[in-house]
């Protein structure tokens, strides 16, 4: 029997836009628009059902500075339900929802505490007993570059929780807001660090202190795959912490690889895709899924697939197949990462044009100045006033992967026509 | 690597077609049109690089002449090792099988290693090309020539690079164009900008939300203040309205109190006095009316009573008459049944008598009843009937069998009579004789063969003897060395003398003579040595042959002796067998065959006669057996018939009856028995009915006498009984009615007494009522009652007014305070106050409504702001477009990278390969054009080729004649082949009729170049022109010409 329990979530990104296939699919568009709200609603219901003592939200409640009122109201309504159930909520804001964009007119329930941009300590009390001491700080503005973790200090022997939106340990996949190291977190002598900012769940430390990123509550794009939700934390005697992840997402993003090596006909492809849809439909805990199919490997069907019209036709077929399943499987796109059946080692050693092309391609691939070699060509697009507003200049890693693609594009025409 | 031979299983018009030992240099294949030259080219391409599939327009050359599509090609490498490459159509052009020199098998990797490439296009365009491939260059423009030059060197399809570039350019144009509107990226960025603007406009929502929220708060405060004022005015209004409402009650109360004071005080009065008085008078009236009615009814009853008199005596026989009535129906049925039985019984008796007569005149009822009709008796009849039928059938069957056997017997006897009786009846003896004939015939054949063998041996021996004799006559060569040595010695001395003489005299000719003599001597010595050697070899051959002959002669003589021994044995066997056959003349093969045939015929005849004799004996025996069987069957039938007659006699039945007749008689007797039983039953019933009738009549008789009825027939009896019953019923009803009337009269008298009593009691009650109302008579009573009621009503009104005033004034300080106010304010004042309050209230309501409407509008706007999805939708669209833009930009980068790759790789390829190719090609071009164009030039950095003229001027390809252009392209190919072979070894070159547009001189020069090329590369040249083949022969007579004709091949000699 735990002394008390709470739920730790972060990165709700309420009313976050979903970039995908939904423009032509009203059902999916509706589901996606409501997805972040539904996920939050699920968390509230779970909190009430599990009779938690308080809820911790570690920043990025909203998706952007231009947060919608709808999101704010729905967020408040959710917290009100907790309030009515006698459950406290403690919230800090992060880079996506700094305090300077906060609506001052919104009326918050009495059991909700939103931490200010100064370090604050709140006591979680139940029946006159101190359960935990919660320290937290919100971002005043988006660009919070201070090491906020250093502001946290233990003040008593009570169970201490640090609630912070920060990039701990310099996670390269995310912006370096409120950067701090693991040592900074450990030095603060908190018992539990409830962090936010990193969208994939990650337990940085499982004991003394527990340092946890619960990940975001609803995947929003193909980079945010897998189960999403929050952690139900139970604190026992001697500050022993027990953590249990729960799913709260309503739609799941999946990247599914299908090797094309054994396929010989279009029918083989369709059958493999149909089977993939069935498997995916059955493996997402009853949730609809948005799937990106990655066709990998090398095989004779590469030639067929490399024609964009064929790939589009296949996509159309599989979209219908996926939608027929229950729960539905929505196909985001079919991406061709496969290659042909050519023996590149042999081709590269040929003393013909193809050999020359491949040798040159390999030379470019290894070149440290790849970007500068193509700078002039790329400037046509990336130097364009309007386009550069929306496009980031590709780094060398990206250019190398596209170089491979360009190589395949050339070989597809040169080898196919020459082997016929 | 070169092609050594090929075998076509089935390919185009070739079937089981094989060519072996193809020259490692040039081979010319000569054949008319459609003889299969291009087919051979196609075959070689197919075996090397796979069969074309349906996607290309290449001819797959199906096996028209039969066989399995495909075949093999034998290849030889530089070490002269043989590889056999075999391929048949299948997936991916067909699986290739390579038989290695060590007899292991390999696949495509071995073939690729042998060929140095697996590039089909390279082979097709450079190594194995026809006129059409050569001429393909002609139609290209300048840019394409460069592509083609690449492809000539690059080993790719000339169209592929061009189509790749074209595809990339198209993609580039579709994706992005600076300043453009239509390309996809341009469209996306435009839309994104528009979204950005729209979002900016919408992002003021938070500020608006806050402002509206403030306004709503302000409005809410104003609304609250107004609502308070409205409540206050409403209260005042209600109070004034209340006072106005109370005013009439107050007025009524004062009026009622004044009226009450003026009325006579009556403390008590009978409750409902007038009503009760009126009720008592009404009751007296009603009782008077009822008494009158009762009196009239009593009079009517008393007048009716005398008319109800009846025969009371009749009722004393009530029990007897009811019984008579009860049995009346039974009696009627009984009379009917009796009548029916009287008619039925005679009919049954008549029928029975008729059936008895059918059985026979002597049959009586007693006999019928005693006759045994048991199941056992019937079974006996059926058993006897079956036995009789079986005996009859058996006798008939035996009779039929006897007739059949008799016919068989007669047929066998006739067949025996038709056959001649054989002279020899010993089958073994005939078989032995036939065996002797066969043996003798074999002996005669062996004798003839032995004689011929002997003759052959004699002839062979004779030939060998003659040859031996001839060999022995050949002189044996004896080496005679001395005379030769003497001559040579003398010649040597002569030479030495001439040498000495020349040295001594200084004359030169002896020295020359010496040298000449020496040379002649040496020549003579060599010739003589050769002659000696030849003679010695001949001696050796002669000796060997002689030895062989001796050996063979011995072998043949041995064989001859063996043949003679066998001949004597044959003679002995022949004599012995002739004796066995008792031959009087020397046996011959023909005679033996004839005798053997005779013996065979005799044996067949004897077998037939013996069979016929055996059949006759067997049928005779069967005939006698059938006769005996028939007699036995007839005897059995008689025995069974006698048993049947005895059975009939025992039962006194007619002897003429058959079993079926007896069974029919049984049925008739059974019917008669049934009729007898029925007759007994009918008579018994008639008797019982007659007894019942008598009993009924005996009961009715006394009543008939009392009422003087004397019926004579059954019908009259029934009628009289009916009369009696009816009379009795009427008497009984009259008695019952009289009793009822008496009861009613008693009741009417009692009612009259009761009514009188009641009237008296009511009158007494009226008197009591008047007294209790303090009145002496009815008028006083009524007046006092009215006064009392008026007082009561006024008091009630006063209470009602007071209650209402109390209730209405509860909220306003109580009745006392309200009454005080009513005493102060007049009605007019109150009405004026009310109007003022109402006006204020209306104004407040209007203001409130206005404020609430404003607030509702703001609430709605707030709701709209909260539920506004436009930003969400725009952001979703923006996100989608951004992702699409990222994807398109990646595609655009890919295109750009691909273009860069092609451009840079092309430049490098040109730079590294072209000069060498061009210089080699120039050398060939000079040779092909007989020196007219000494070289080819590919200006650096320019996409064109020029040819250098003799006067150092340059010409572009477009300015060359068709033939010269083809020579240029051929030269370029040769140049590439020379360059390519430096890296990957040599491949066979196959050309199909490429010289047709060349003039004779240049064609000859081209042939010379081809022959030169063939020093390093095997060349197969296909042509349909004998002249071309002749050109090759002229250049090198050793070049083989292979003539192809409709799937066949032969070496031609031109």
Per-residue pLDDT tens over the stretch B441-492: 888 888 888 888 888 788 888 888 888 888 887 776 666 566 667 777 887 8
Is there a contact between B147 and B162 (Cβ–Cβ < 8 Å)? Answer: yes
Mean pLDDT of B416-439: 83
Q: How far apart are CA B897 and CA B183, in angstroms?
A: 19
DSSP string across B655-677? TT--HHHHHHHHHHHHHHHHHHH
The contacts of residue B331 (CB under 8 Å, 6+ apart) are: B693, B696, B718, B721
- Contact yes or no for A22 and B117 at CB 8 A: no
Q: Are strands A289-296 and A252-259 parallel, antiparallel or unpaired?
A: parallel
pLDDT attached to residue B861: 84
Residues 6+ away with beta carbon under 8 Å from A342:
A411, A415
Within 13 Å, how many C-alpha atoms sit on residue A10's CB side? 27
What band does B203 get if pLDDT is binned at 50, 70 and 90? low
DSSP string, B57-106: -S-----TTSS-SEEEEEEE-TT--EEEEEE---GGG--EEEE-TTS-EE
Kindly state whether residues A76 and A206 are assigned to the same domain: yes
In chain B, the residue whose alpha carbon lies closest to the alpha carbon of A103 is: B206
CB A259 within 8 A of CB A37: no
Strand pairing class (A112-114; A88-92): parallel
CA trace torsion B517, B522, B527, B528 (10° rounding):
90
Token output for B426: 């010993």
Residues A223 and A263 in one domain: no
Please give the Cα distance from B118 to B112 (Å, whole number): 5
Give yes or no: residues A207 and A292 share one domain.
no
How far is B37 from B1047, CA to CA, in rounded Å? 9
Name the residue among B91, B84, B101 with its Cα closest to residue B47.
B84
State whether B885 and A418 contact (CB < 8 Å).
no
Cβ–Cβ pairs < 8 A, chains A and B: 205
Question: Using CB atoms within 10 A of its CB, is residue B656 exposed (0-12), middle (13-18) or buried (19+)?
Answer: exposed
Is B897–A386 a contact, with Cβ atoms under 8 angstroms apart?
A: no
Instruction: Say if residue B147's pLDDT is above 60.
Output: no
Q: Which ranges in A67-204 belong to alpha helices (H)?
A: 69-84, 182-187
Residues of A in contact with B904 (CB under 8 A): 360
The secondary structure element, H or E, covering residue B893 is: helix B870-928
Contact A413 B167 (CB under 8 A): yes
CB-closest option in A19, A386, A406 to B898: A406
Query: Are A204 and A310 in the same domain?
Result: no
Run of H or E residues at A91: strand A88-92
The shortest C-alpha distance from A336 to chain B (Å) reads 13
Q: Which of A187, A212, A247 is the last residue of a domain?
A: A247
- B895 close to A (CB below 8 A): yes
Together in a domain, A108 and A197 = yes
What DSSP assignment string belongs to B558-585?
A: HHHHHHHHHHHHHHHHHHHHHHHTT-SS
Quick: pLDDT tens for B579-604: 887 777 777 878 888 888 888 888 88
Give B145's pLDDT tier (boundaries 50, 70, 90): very low
| Candidate from A63, A103, A418 with C-beta closest to B119 | A418
Which tokens belong to B164?
A: 């790749």
> Alpha carbon B634 to chain centroid distance?
76
Summary mean pLDDT of chain B = 83
Tell me the residues of chain B between 951 and 980 that have a Cβ less than 8 Å away from chain A: 980
Residue with the larger pLDDT of the pair A65 and B945: B945
Distance CA B860, CA A136 (A): 37
Selection from B969, B958, B1038, B1036 nearest residue B997 by Cα? B969
Q: Are A214 and A231 in contact (CB under 8 A)?
A: yes
The three-state secondary structure class of B475 is: coil
Alpha-carbon distance B239 to nearest alpha carbon in chain A (angstroms):
42
Give the model's pLDDT for residue B576: 83
Mark whether A91 and A198 lie in a shared domain.
yes
Residue, of A364 and B776, whose pLDDT is higher: A364
Is some CB atom of chain A closer than 8 A to the CB atom of B906? yes
Let me know: does A27 contact A246? Beta carbons within 8 Å: no
Q: Mean per-residue pLDDT for B493-504?
A: 80
Helix (H, G, I), strand (E, B) or coil at B944: coil
Residues 845-884 of B with CB under 8 A from A: 865-869, 871-873, 875-880, 882-883
Asked if residue A217 and residue A84 are part of one domain, the reply reads: yes
Question: Does this model's pTM top 0.90?
Answer: no
Q: What is the pLDDT of residue B157?
A: 61
CB B71 within 8 Å of CB B5: no
In 3D space, the residue among B65, B149, B127, B250 whose CA is nearest the CA of residue B994 turns out to be B127
Q: Which residues of chain A are within 8 Å of residue B168 when distances are taken between CB atoms?
A: 409
In this structure, are strands A210-213 and A202-206 parallel, antiparallel, or unpaired?
A: antiparallel
Q: Identify the helix (H) or strand (E) that includes residue B1043.
A: strand B1041-1045
Asked if residue A299 and residue A189 are part of one domain, the reply reads no
Of A200, A223, A247, the position where a domain reaches its end is A247
Gap from B983 CA to chain A (nearest CA, Å): 8
Q: How far apart are CA B300 and CA A243, in angstroms?
A: 115
Let me know: does A160 contact A187? Beta carbons within 8 Å: no
Contact B154 A403 (CB under 8 A): no
| Residue of B51, B127, B885, B905 best to disrupt the A interface, most CBs of A under 10 A | B905
Strand partners, A251: none
CA quadruple A203, A206, A211, A214: dihedral, nearest 10: 40
Domain regions of chain B by residue span: 375-417+615-650, 427-587
Say how many Å lie between the first and final Cα of chain B, rounded: 28
Q: Which of A351, A359, A364, A398 to mutate to test the interface with B (most CBs of B within 10 A)?
A: A351
Is the separation of the CB atoms in B108 and B93 below 8 Å? no
Are A73 and B892 inside 8 Å of each other by CB?
A: no
Domain count for chain A: 2
Q: How far apart are CA B594 and CA B583, in angstroms?
A: 13
CB distance A410–B900 less than 8 Å? no
Q: Name the B residues in 118-177 with CB < 8 Å from any A CB.
A: 118-122, 150-151, 153-157, 159-161, 163-164, 167-168, 176
> Quick check: B876 and A19 CB within 8 A?
yes
Query: By the CB < 8 Å criterion, does B907 face chain A?
Result: no
Half-sphere exposure of B695 (CA within 13 A, CB side): 12
Among the partner-chain residues A359, A390, A409, the one whose CB lies closest to the CB of B898 is A409
Whether B140 has a pLDDT exceeding 60, the answer reads no
Cβ-proximal residues to B297 (8 Å cutoff; 6+ apart), any chain: B748
Of B778 and B678, the one with more pLDDT: B678
According to the model, what pLDDT value does residue B363 have? 82
Q: For residue B797, give how far its alpha carbon lies from the nearest alpha carbon of chain A (Å).
A: 59
CATH of the domain at A123: 3.60.21.10
Residue A117 and residue A257 in one domain: no
Q: Which of A223, A247, A271 is the last residue of a domain?
A: A247
Task: Give helix then strand counts, H and E, for chain A.
Answer: 10, 15
Between CA B397 and CA A370 the distance in angstroms is 122
Q: Looking at residue B600, what is its pLDDT?
A: 85
Q: In angstroms, what separates the C-alpha of A122 from chain B's closest C-alpha?
A: 28
3-state secondary structure of A133: strand
pLDDT at res. B941 = 46
Please report where in the chains the tokens 């009605």 appear, as a residue. B827
Residues of chain B with C-beta less than 8 angstroms from the C-beta of A66 = 199, 203, 871, 875
Nearest chain B residue to A378 by CA distance is B893
Q: Rounded distance, CA B380 to CA B384, Å?
A: 6
Residue B129, beta-bridge partner list: B991
| φ and ψ at residue B241, rounded to 5 degrees | -60, -35
CA distance B1 to A403: 38
Q: Which of B177, B901, B914, B978 to mutate to test the interface with A (most CBs of A within 10 A)?
A: B901
Strand A120-126 and strand A229-235: the pairing is unpaired
Residues A236 and A308 in one domain: no
Structural domain containing residue A278 = 252-419
Per the CB < 8 A criterion, the answer to whether B141 and B151 are in contact is no
Query: Quick one: closest CA in B to A332, which residue?
Result: B880
pLDDT under 50 in chain A at which residues? 417-420
Q: Is B492 left (phi over 0), alpha (psi -120 to 50) or beta?
A: alpha
Hey, is A331 helix, strand or coil? strand
Considering only the beta carbons, identify the residue of B121, B210, B980 that sits closest to A351. B980
CA distance, residue B121 to nearest chain A CA (Å): 5
Tell whether B203 is within 8 A of chain A (Cβ).
yes
A84 and A204 in a single domain? The answer is: yes
C-alpha–C-alpha distance, residues B19 and B31, integer Å: 15
Q: Taking 60 as the threshold, does the pLDDT of residue B328 lie above it?
A: yes
What is the Cα–Cα distance from B459 to B135, expressed in whole angstroms?
A: 78
Confidence of residue B985 (pLDDT cuts 50, 70, 90): low
* CA distance linking residue B252 with residue B260, whole number of Å: 12
Compare CB distances from A69 to B168, B206, B875 and report the shortest one's residue: B206
Q: Which of A248-257, A354-363, B613-622, B939-948 is the most confident on average?
A: A248-257
Instruction: Specify the pLDDT at position A309.
Output: 87
Same domain, A172 and A314: no
Q: Identify the three-state secondary structure at position A160.
A: strand
For residues B483 and B242, what is the distance between their CA atoms, to the nearest angstrom?
193
Report the DSSP beta bridge partners of residue B1051: B1042
Q: Take residue B883 and report the two structure tokens written for it.
A: 């992702």
CB contact under 8 A, A391 and B55: no
Which residue carries 């009548």 as its tokens? Answer: B339
B112 touches chain A (CB under 8 A): yes
Residue B890: which of A23, A69, A402 has the nearest Cβ? A402
- For A353, the closest of B163, B867, B905 (CB atoms) is B905
């Amino acid at each position: 029997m735990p002394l008390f329990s709470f739920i730790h979530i972060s990165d709700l990104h309420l009313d976050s836009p979903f970039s995908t296939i939904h423009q032509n699919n009203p059902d999916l568009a509706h589901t996606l628009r409501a997805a972040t709200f539904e996920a939050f609603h699920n968390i509230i219901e779970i909190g009430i059902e599990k009779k938690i003592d308080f809820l911790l939200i570690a920043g990025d409640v909203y998706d952007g500075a231009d947060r919608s009122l709808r999101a704010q109201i729905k967020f408040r309504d959710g917290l009100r339900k907790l309030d009515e159930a006698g459950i406290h909520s403690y919230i800090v804001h992060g880079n996506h929802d700094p305090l300077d964009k906060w609506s001052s007119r919104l009326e918050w329930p009495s059991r909700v505490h939103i931490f200010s941009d100064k370090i604050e300590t709140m006591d979680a009390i139940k029946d006159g007993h101190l359960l935990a001491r919660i320290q937290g700080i919100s971002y005043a503005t988006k660009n919070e570059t201070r090491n906020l973790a250093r502001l946290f200090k233990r003040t008593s022997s009570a169970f201490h929780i640090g609630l912070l939106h920060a990039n701990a340990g310099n996670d390269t996949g995310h912006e370096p807001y409120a950067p701090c190291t693991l040592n900074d977190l450990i030095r603060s002598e908190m018992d539990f660090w409830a962090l936010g900012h990193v969208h994939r769940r990650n337990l940085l430390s499982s004991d003394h202190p527990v340092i946890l990123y619960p990940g975001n509550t609803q995947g929003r794009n193909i980079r945010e795959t897998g189960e999403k939700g929050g952690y139900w934390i139970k604190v026992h005697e001697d500050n022993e912490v027990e953590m249990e992840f729960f799913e709260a997402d309503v739609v799941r993003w999946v990247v599914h690889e299908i090797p094309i090596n054994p396929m010989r006909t279009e029918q083989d492809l369709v059958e493999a895709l149909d089977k993939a849809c069935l498997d995916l439909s059955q493996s997402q805990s009853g949730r609809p899924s948005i799937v990106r199919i990655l066709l990998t490997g090398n095989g004779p069907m590469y030639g067929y697939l490399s024609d964009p019209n064929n790939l589009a036709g296949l996509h159309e077929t599989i979209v219908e197949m996926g939608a027929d399943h229950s729960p539905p499987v929505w196909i985001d796109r079919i991406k061709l990462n496969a290659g042909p059946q050519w023996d590149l080692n042999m081709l590269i050693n040929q003393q013909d044009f193809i050999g020359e092309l491949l040798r040159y391609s390999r030379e470019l691939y290894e070149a440290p100045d790849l970007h500068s070699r193509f700078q002039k060509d790329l400037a046509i697009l990336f130097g364009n006033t309007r386009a550069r507003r929306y496009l980031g200049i590709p780094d060398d890693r990206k250019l190398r992967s596209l170089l491979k693609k360009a190589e395949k594009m050339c070989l597809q025409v040169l080898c196919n026509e020459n082997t016929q | 690597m070169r092609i050594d031979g090929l075998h076509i299983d089935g390919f185009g018009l070739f079937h089981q077609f094989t060519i072996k030992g193809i020259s490692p240099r040039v081979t010319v294949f000569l054949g008319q049109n459609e003889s299969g030259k291009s087919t051979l080219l196609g075959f070689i391409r197919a075996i090397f690089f796979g069969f074309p599939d349906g996607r290309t327009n290449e001819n797959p050359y199906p096996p028209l002449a039969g066989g399995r599509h495909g075949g093999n090609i034998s290849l030889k490498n530089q070490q002269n090792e043989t590889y056999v490459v075999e391929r048949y159509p299948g997936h991916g052009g067909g699986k290739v099988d390579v038989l290695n020199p060590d007899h292991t098998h390999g696949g495509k990797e071995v073939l690729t290693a042998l060929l140095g490439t697996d590039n089909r296009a390279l082979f097709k365009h450079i190594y194995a090309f026809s006129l059409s491939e050569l001429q393909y260059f002609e139609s290209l423009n300048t840019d394409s020539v460069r592509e083609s030059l690449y492809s000539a060197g690059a080993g790719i399809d000339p169209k592929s690079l061009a189509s790749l570039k074209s595809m990339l350019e198209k993609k580039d144009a579709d994706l992005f164009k600076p300043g453009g509107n239509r390309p996809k990226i341009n469209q996306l960025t435009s839309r994104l900008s528009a979204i950005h603007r729209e979002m900016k406009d919408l992002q003021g929502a938070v500020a608006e939300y806050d402002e509206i929220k403030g306004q709503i708060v302000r409005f809410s405060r104003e609304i609250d203040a107004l609502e308070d004022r409205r409540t206050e005015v409403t209260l005042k209004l209600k109070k004034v309205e209340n006072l106005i409402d109370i005013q009439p009650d107050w007025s009524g109360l004062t009026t009622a109190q004044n009226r009450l004071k003026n009325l006579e005080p009556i403390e008590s009065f009978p409750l409902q006095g007038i009503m009760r008085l009126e009720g008592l008078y009404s009751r007296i009236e009603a009782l008077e009316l009822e008494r009158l009615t009762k009196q009239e009814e009593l009079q009517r009853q008393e007048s009716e009573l005398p008319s109800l008199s009846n025969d009371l005596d009749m009722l004393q026989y009530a029990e007897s008459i009811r019984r008579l009535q009860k049995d009346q129906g039974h009696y009627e049925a009984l009379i009917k049944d009796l009548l029916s039985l009287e008619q039925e019984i005679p009919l049954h008796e008549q029928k029975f008598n008729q059936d008895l007569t059918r059985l026979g005149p002597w049959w009586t009822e007693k006999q019928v009843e005693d006759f045994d009709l048991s199941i056992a008796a019937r079974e006996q009849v059926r058993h006897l009937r079956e036995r009789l039928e079986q005996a009859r059938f058996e006798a008939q069957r035996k009779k039929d069998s006897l007739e059949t056997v008799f016919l068989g017997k007669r047929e066998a006897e006739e067949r025996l009579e038709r056959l001649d009786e054989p002279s020899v009846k010993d089958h073994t003896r005939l078989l032995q004789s036939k065996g002797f004939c066969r043996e003798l015939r074999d002996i005669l054949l062996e004798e003839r063969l032995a004689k011929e063998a002997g003759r052959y041996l004699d002839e062979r021996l004779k030939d060998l003897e003659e040859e031996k004799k001839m060999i022995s006559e050949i002189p044996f060569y004896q080496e005679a060395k001395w005379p030769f040595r003497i001559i040579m010695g003398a010649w040597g001395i002569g030479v030495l003398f001439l040498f000495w003489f020349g040295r001594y005299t200084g004359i030169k000719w002896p020295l020359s003579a010496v040298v000449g003599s020496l040379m002649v001597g040496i020549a003579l010595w060599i010739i003589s040595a050769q002659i000696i050697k030849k003679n010695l070899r001949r001696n050796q051959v002669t000796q060997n042959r002689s030895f062989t002959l001796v050996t063979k002669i011995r072998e043949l003589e041995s064989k001859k002796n063996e043949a003679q021994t066998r001949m004597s044995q044959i003679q002995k066997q022949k004599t012995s067998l002739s004796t066995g056959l008792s031959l009087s003349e020397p046996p011959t093969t023909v005679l033996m065959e004839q005798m053997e045939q005779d013996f065979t015929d005799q044996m067949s005849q004897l077998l037939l006669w013996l069979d016929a004799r055996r059949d006759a004996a067997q049928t005779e025996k069967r005939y006698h057996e059938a006769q005996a069987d028939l007699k036995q069957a007839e005897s059995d039938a008689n025995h069974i018939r006698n048993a049947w007659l005895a059975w009939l006699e025992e039962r006194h039945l007619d002897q003429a009856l058959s079993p079926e007749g007896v069974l029919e008689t049984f049925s008739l007797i059974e019917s008669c028995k049934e009729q007898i039983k029925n007759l007994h039953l009918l008579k018994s019933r008639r008797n019982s009915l007659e007894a019942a009738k008598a009993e009924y009549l005996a009961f009715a008789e006394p009543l008939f006498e009392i009422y003087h009825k004397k019926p004579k027939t059954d019908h009259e009896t029934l009628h009289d009984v009916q009369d009696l019953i009816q009379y009795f019923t009427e008497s009984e009803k009259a008695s019952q009615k009289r009793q009822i009337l008496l009861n009613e009269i008693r009741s009417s008298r009692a009612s009259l007494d009761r009514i009188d009593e009641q009237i008296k009691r009511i009158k007494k009650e009226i008197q009591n009522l008047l007294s209790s109302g303090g009145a002496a008579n009815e008028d006083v009573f009524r007046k006092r009652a009215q006064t009392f009621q008026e007082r009561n009503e006024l008091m009630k009104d006063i209470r009602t007014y007071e209650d209402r005033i109390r209730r209405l004034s509860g909220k306003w300080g109580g009745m006392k305070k309200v009454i005080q106010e009513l005493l102060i304010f007049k009605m007019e004042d109150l009405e004026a106050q009310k109007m003022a309050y109402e006006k204020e209230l209306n104004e407040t309501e209007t203001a409130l409504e206005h404020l609430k409407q404003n607030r509702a509008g703001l609430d709605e706007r707030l709701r709209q702001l909260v539920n506004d999805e436009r930003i969400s939708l725009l952001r979703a669209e923006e996100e989608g477009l951004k992702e699409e833009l990222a994807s398109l930009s990646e595609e655009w980068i890919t295109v750009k990278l691909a273009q860069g790759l092609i451009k840079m790789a092309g430049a490098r390829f040109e730079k590294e390969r072209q000069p060498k190719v061009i210089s080699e090609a120039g050398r060939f071009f000079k040779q092909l054009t007989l020196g007219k164009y000494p070289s080819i030039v590919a200006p650096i950095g320019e996409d064109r080729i020029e040819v250098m003229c003799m006067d150092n001027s340059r010409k572009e390809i477009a300015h060359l004649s068709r033939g010269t252009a083809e020579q240029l392209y051929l030269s370029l190919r040769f140049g590439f082949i020379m360059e390519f072979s430096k890296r990957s070894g040599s491949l066979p070159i196959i050309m199909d009729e490429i010289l047709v547009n060349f003039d004779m001189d240049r064609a000859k020069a081209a042939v010379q170049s081809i022959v030169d090329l063939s020093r390093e590369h095997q060349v197969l040249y296909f042509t349909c022109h004998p002249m071309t083949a002749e050109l090759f022969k002229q250049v090198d007579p050793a070049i083989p010409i292979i003539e192809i004709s409709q799937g066949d091949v032969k070496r031609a000699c031109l």
